[in-house]
Amino acid sequence: CLAVMGEKDPAIQRLEATRDTFPATHYSDTAQLLINLLLESERRNEAIESADLSDLERARAYFAAGSYSPALRLFAEIGDEHLAPLDRYRFHRSREESGQIQPAIKGYTDSINRRRDQAAVREANRRLLLIGNFYGGGSRVKEYAEDRAEELGDNQALEDIEEAAREIREAVVVEEIQETEDSELLSELEETIALD
């Protein structure tokens, strides 16, 4: 989470502590893997920073590299009103990936309502579908995005996301049933043991 929020040094320090505290375990292995990924990301970011690019080109490069915090900073400096539709999408996606969900929802909604670029509108609406169905965006976001998907003719994406949401809900129901059954079995075992 620290790394996603742009705080790589504290993230690396904590991962190093995990690696050193649990040597020869999967915790250590996973921590080292994440450290390596963060260091590689840092090298990519340094290359982007040293390249002869405009602020917009640099923001796009950060976005493409998955470095959302620096992309967000640059897009914000340029200003939402000066961005082309796909760059506005990238700006709001960077917000979402950096944990600024409500501003991202507002930005996606604004992009959809402007309808200046079909590809950007479709991508923004797909993000709203995901936020509404999986990331706690709520029923209003979900319903708005579903209505827009139908208007846009983006029915396949809508069906795919709805199917994935159903499968997750079905898995949760199965887990709840199993937990109930397990607790009933546990109660029966406790009664049997008490009788012996």
pLDDT tens digits, 57-69: 999 999 999 999 9
pLDDT of residue 59: 98
Sign of CA dihedral 109, 115, 117, 123: positive
A 10 A CB-CB count for 65 gives 16
What's the mean pLDDT in 41-45?
A: 91
What's the mean pLDDT in 165-185?
A: 60
91, pLDDT greater than 90: yes
**Contact between 125 and 149 (Cβ < 8 Å):** yes
192, pLDDT greater than 80: no
**In the structure, what pLDDT confidence band is assigned to residue 86 with cuts at 50, 70 and 90?**
very high
pLDDT of residue 138: 86
pLDDT of residue 167: 80
Write down the pTM of the prediction: 0.76
**Contact between 27 and 18 (Cβ < 8 Å):** yes
